[in-house]
Amino acid sequence: MSAPPSGDSVEDGRGDRRGQEEPVLSVRNLQTVFRTDRETIRAVDGIDLDLYEGETVGLVGESGSGKSVTARSIMGLVEEPGEVLPESSIRFKGEEITDYDTAQYQELRGSGIGMIFQDPLSSLNPVFTVGNQIREALKVNRGITGEAAREEAIDLLEAVQIPDAARRLGEYPHEFSGGMRQRAVIAMMLACDPEVLICDEPTTALDVTIQAQILELLSDLQDERGLSILFITHDMGVIADITDRVNVMYAGEIVEKAPTEELFADPRHPYTEGLLEAIPGQHADEDRLRTIEGEVPTPNEAATHCRFAPRCPKAFEECEAVHPELVDVDESPADHTAACLLYPEGMSKGEAVAHHERLGEAHGDGNSRPTGEDVAADGGDSR
């Protein structure tokens, strides 16, 4: 969760983990669809993600790109008419979880993977006190009851820096401010002692100062507890502040992956370039916020082309006809990939297009996509 300017993601050896260490969370070819009478929406269309112990990985993209569906797929929270397709693989500490039943998912959410949403009230019950809810989480997930639970609950509120913890345990969620509510949710999540934390826009509804405090808190907790964090946001500024690596998502696909510092210094996908251009304050001389024109399309058919092409300032004819695969952007470094026909750099346009076509055929593009092993073998995930 270290800030990129003082970043230690490469120097401390995190950049060399590929092949040496198993990710705590590993997603391969995740496909989550919503079937309606009229169409099948491929909300998540074959993505790969790795999260290693103690790191913060960002998932960023505009509204509707599929970030929350990705999180809900991992947590086993996709509801009708949604479905995680059977080709998908999600492994937590090496174990496949996509075939878990309801009870197994409940246990996973109660101990292995915690999740924080944008609206803290969705995680809190209005009719019970905050202390009551934390004690319940301690009882159900860790078997702690009575005075021990009360003491642990106080410790947890103190850990999330809620002042006057003993007294506030007796208050109801509506008596907490927005920022304090999100802290209470974090405390409740910590009661489950998770290894992975998925944060879906946890600070979007908060004002800037409170947002910074919550991000700081998450960073501290990560250091203290060795948490691995998947952080979802549409805010590139937040990504810069807290992530070690970034995945950029567009219309159900991941279009660029890189260490955070590198992504900001040298973005390669035109979509990422557009997102960075749109950060407020990038263009002090302009009084209007730059955004990428147009909207994220609903991915309701197989990707046989680049879904960003209609909005892309660099699009050329083939972009409408060939599906770009994630490829290394250049020879070095190996952990920066983009799904764009402009890459790999060093190939002519024609060579690059042919390269993507070949990879697409190998992946059986358009219908089934690769299995985890295939993806790992050709560097589908960028570590």
Ligand X SMILES: Nc1ncnc2c1ncn2[C@@H]1O[C@H](COP(=O)(O)OP(=O)(O)OP(=O)(O)O)[C@@H](O)[C@H]1O
**46 vs 64, beta carbon nearer ligand X:** 64
Tally Cβ neighbours within 10 Å of residue 255. Answer: 25
Structure tokens at 19: 């092949």
DSSP state of 107: H
Structure tokens at 37: 């009478």
The interface partner of residue 23, options being ligand X, Ni ion, none and the CB cut-off 5 to 8 Å by kind, is none
Residue 71 and residue 196: Cα distance in Å, rounded? 12
**183 vs 234, beta carbon nearer ligand X:** 234
Stretch that binds Ni ion, among 61-69, 134-142, 300-308, 355-363 (CB under 5 A): 61-69
The minimum distance between CB 4 and ligand X, in angstroms, equals: 22
The minimum distance between CB 79 and ligand X, in angstroms, equals: 7
Q: Exposure string (b/e) for 271-281, b if CB count within 10 Å is 16 or more? A: bbbbbbebbee
The interface partner of residue 194, options being Ni ion, ligand X, none and the CB cut-off 5 to 8 Å by kind, is none
CA angle 254, 337, 223 (to 5 degrees): 80
Question: Which residues form the interface with ligand X (CB under 6 A)?
Answer: 34, 41, 43, 61, 63-69, 82, 234, 298
Structure tokens at 85: 């397709």
Interface with Ni ion in residues 191-220 (CB under 5 A): none
The minimum distance between CB 93 and ligand X, in angstroms, equals: 25
**61 vs 112, beta carbon nearer ligand X:** 61
Task: Return phi, psi of residue 248, to 5°.
Answer: -100, 125
**2 vs 65, beta carbon nearer ligand X:** 65
Identify residue 111 by its one-letter amino acid code: S
Stretch that binds Ni ion, among 23-31, 44-52, 68-76, 367-375 (CB under 5 A): 68-76
The minimum distance between CB 279 and ligand X, in angstroms, equals: 16
**41 vs 246, beta carbon nearer ligand X:** 41
**117 vs 264, beta carbon nearer ligand X:** 117
Residue located via tokens 């021990």: 148
70 binds Ni ion (CB under 5 A): no
Burial class (CB in 10 A: 0-12, 13-18, 19+), 263: buried
The interface partner of residue 63, options being ligand X, Ni ion, none and the CB cut-off 5 to 8 Å by kind, is ligand X
The minimum distance between CB 72 and ligand X, in angstroms, equals: 8
Residue nearest to Ni ion (CB): 68
**31 vs 68, beta carbon nearer ligand X:** 68
Of the candidates 352, 346, 348, 326, the one whose C-alpha atom is nearest the C-alpha of residue 337 is 326
Structure tokens at 157: 């509120």
Contacts of 156 (CB under 8 A, 6+ apart): 134, 187, 188, 190, 191
The minimum distance between CB 11 and Ni ion, in angstroms, equals: 33
The interface partner of residue 66, options being ligand X, Ni ion, none and the CB cut-off 5 to 8 Å by kind, is ligand X
The minimum distance between CB 68 and ligand X, in angstroms, equals: 3
Of the candidates 50, 111, 42, the one whose C-alpha atom is nearest the C-alpha of residue 75 is 111
CB 43 within 8 A of CB 211: no
DSSP state of 31: E
Of the candidates 247, 226, 187, the one whose C-alpha atom is nearest the C-alpha of residue 58 is 247
The interface partner of residue 315, options being Ni ion, ligand X, none and the CB cut-off 5 to 8 Å by kind, is none
The interface partner of residue 4, options being ligand X, Ni ion, none and the CB cut-off 5 to 8 Å by kind, is none
**201 vs 357, beta carbon nearer ligand X:** 201
**98 vs 161, beta carbon nearer ligand X:** 98
The minimum distance between CB 301 and ligand X, in angstroms, equals: 13
The interface partner of residue 43, options being Ni ion, ligand X, none and the CB cut-off 5 to 8 Å by kind, is ligand X
3-state helix, strand, coil in the chain (%, to 5): 35, 20, 45
Identify residue 63 by its one-letter amino acid code: S
Residue 32 and residue 379: Cα distance in Å, rounded? 22
68 binds Ni ion (CB under 5 A): yes
The minimum distance between CB 228 and ligand X, in angstroms, equals: 20
Residues forming the site for Ni ion (CB under 5 A): 67-68
